[in-house]
């Protein structure tokens, strides 16, 4: 057992770290202010062949592992969390279900577009009345003359305005409970499909969060992802992988907050010495550094288990739960160390704090993750 990254992972880390510092970070504050989606950055990530990072080369991917995906997501999120969530959702919610459950034809038609960046990846699960309780899905797909007619709505869907298609869940058999839920691949320009981008959010302002409205949207029977009735099971598996992404995002934001807090503590003087000489400030910084190290280790372990083809539900839930909660405390303490300046936009830590709040909610709230962990440890 050892904890070193491979030489490929180290090279990737160096490359994406420089890209994050030189290309992503400089515009992060402005994009946040203007609520401007990082489409140019996504294009550049496509040129760097990172948009299909963990997917097979056969479909235009780079064939890399999940640890590499975690490295890229962490570095992007350190520079700009809106860019981080866009990328994480693109890979783990948009591409992963196709990779895991799609037919060869579906992968050729759709996964290739994810890998090239032609379509930004998105996944429609949550509904106004079905979030944590996704089994309560109300959107319906009715089979008529060999085609599905879909009616319903989805809420809080990341990236959908920039997706040419997405997978979404719908009830195909009301009598079967969660076994009657099916995932369907739907083009976003299909007649009757509306993507509405009008949320006013606390943070992640440059990311795209949408409502989906489906009125008599028709798709062929071949639009089923995998098999009929497997949508619920598929999204549980998809979310296990997605939690590694949110965990990596959390580590990136926490690291950004720590870096700024440490720098400020060294520079800011009070009572004749720099803040970094005060034991109470040192304790905050020591706790932040320890928690970030532990969170990153948990994220890598979950990613490693996934790469080994082993079960990782519990570890991914633990990694996401812990990393998101320490991201909240790290960003909170980073503001504290900055004092009044931390409350102002100029020092960026207030953006980190706002952005971090989503991490405890998306892809399984902290309460739901504790339920998942409790279920797994009592097996």
Q: Which residues are catalytic?
A: 363
Question: Closest separation between CB of residue 365 and ligand FAD, Å?
Answer: 3
On whether the CB atoms of residues 216 and 151 are closer than 8 A, the answer is yes
d(CA 118, CA 70) in angstroms, rounded, equals 22
Q: Which is nearer to ligand FAD, 16 or 212 (CB)?
A: 212
CB of 80 to ligand FAD, least distance (A): 15
For residues 177 and 34, give the distance between their C-alpha atoms in angstroms, rounded to a whole number: 43
Sorted by sequence, the CB contacts under 8 Å of residue 21 that are 6+ apart come out as 79
For ligand FAD, the closer of residues 118 and 367 by Cβ is: 367
Question: d(Cα 370, Cα 320) in Å, to the nearest integer?
Answer: 10
Comparing CA positions, the residue from 178, 177, 185 lying closest to residue 233 is: 178
Report the residue from 46, 56, 131, 187 that binds ligand FAD according to the rule CB under 6 A: 131
What residues between 193 and 222 interact with ligand FAD by CB under 6 A? 204, 209
Q: Which is nearer to ligand FAD, 158 or 255 (CB)?
A: 158
Is the distance from CB of 6 to CB of 322 less than 8 angstroms?
no
Total residues at interface with ligand FAD (CB under 6 A):
21
Q: 223 or 246, CB closer to ligand FAD? A: 246
Q: Which of 50, 93, 214, 318 binds ligand FAD (CB under 6 A)?
A: 93
Query: DSSP of 327-362, one letter per residue?
Result: HHHHHHHHHHHHGGGGGSGGGSHHHHHHHHGGGGTT
- Name 30's Cβ contacts closer than 8 Å, sequence gap at least 6: 36
Interacting residue with ligand FAD among 16, 141, 157, 183 (CB under 6 A): 157
Phi, psi of 374 (to 5 degrees): -60, -40
Q: Which is nearer to ligand FAD, 181 or 262 (CB)?
A: 181
Stretch that binds ligand FAD, among 16-24, 154-162, 246-254, 338-346 (CB under 6 A): 154-162
What character string, x for contact with ligand FAD (CB under 6 A) and - otherwise, covers 349-378? ---------x--xxx-x-xx----------
Among the listed residues 66, 112, 119, 126, the single contact to ligand FAD using CB under 6 A = 126
DSSP 130: B
Q: Could you tell me the two tokens for 268?
A: 């800011």
CA angle 18, 52, 171 (to 5 degrees): 130
Per-residue x/- mask for ligand FAD, residues 132 to 151, rule CB under 6 A?
Answer: xx------------------
Considering the complex, state which of residue 79 and residue 358 has its C-beta at the smaller distance from ligand FAD: 358
- Please identify the residue of the shown chain whose CB is closest to the bound ligand FAD: 131
Q: Interface residues with ligand FAD (CB under 6 A)?
A: 89, 93, 123-126, 131-133, 156-158, 204, 209, 358, 361-363, 365, 367-368
């Amino acid at each position: 057992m050892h904890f070193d990254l491979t030489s490929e992972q180290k090279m990737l880390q160096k490359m994406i770290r420089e890209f994050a510092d030189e290309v992503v970070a400089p515009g992060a504050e402005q994009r946040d202010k203007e609520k401007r989606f990082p489409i140019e950055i996504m294009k550049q990530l496509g040129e760097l062949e990172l948009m299909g990072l963990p997917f097979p080369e056969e479909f235009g991917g780079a064939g890399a592992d999940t640890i590499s995906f975690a490295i890229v997501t962490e570095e992007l999120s350190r520079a700009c969390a809106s860019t981080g969530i866009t990328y994480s959702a693109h890979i783990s919610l948009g591409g992963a279900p196709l990779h895991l459950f799609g037919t060869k034809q579906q992968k050729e038609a759709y996964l290739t577009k994810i890998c090239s960046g032609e379509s930004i990846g998105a996944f429609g699960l949550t509904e106004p009345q079905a979030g944590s309780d996704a089994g309560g899905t109300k959107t319906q797909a009715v089979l008529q003359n060999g085609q599905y007619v879909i009616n319903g709505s989805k809420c809080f869907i990341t990236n959908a305005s920039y997706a040419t298609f997405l997978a979404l869940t719908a009830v195909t058999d009301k009598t079967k409970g969660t076994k009657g839920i099916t995932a369907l691949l739907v083009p976003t320009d299909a007649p009757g499909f509306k993507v509405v981008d009008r949320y006013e959010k606390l943070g992640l302002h440059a990311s795209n969060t949408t409502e989906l409205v489906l009125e008599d949207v028709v798709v062929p029977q071949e639009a089923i992802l995998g098999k009929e009735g497997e949508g619920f099971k598929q999204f549980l598996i998809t979310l296990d992988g997605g939690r590694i992404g949110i965990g990596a995002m959390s580590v990136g934001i926490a690291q950004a907050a720590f870096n700024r807090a440490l720098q400020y503590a060294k520079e800011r003087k009070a009572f004749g010495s720099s803040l970094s000489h005060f034991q109470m400030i040192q304790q905050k910084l020591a706790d932040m550094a320890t928690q970030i190290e532990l969170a990153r280790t948990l994220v890598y372990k979950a990613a490693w288990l996934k790469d080994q083809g082993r079960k990782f539900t519990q570890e991914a839930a633990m990694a996401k739960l812990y990393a998101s909660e320490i991201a909240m405390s790290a960003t909170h303490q980073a503001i504290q160390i900055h004092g009044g300046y931390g409350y102002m936009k100029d020092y960026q830590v207030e953006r980190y704090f706002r952005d971090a709040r989503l991490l405890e909610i998306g892809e399984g709230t902290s309460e739901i993750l504790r339920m998942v962990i409790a279920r797994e440890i009592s097996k």
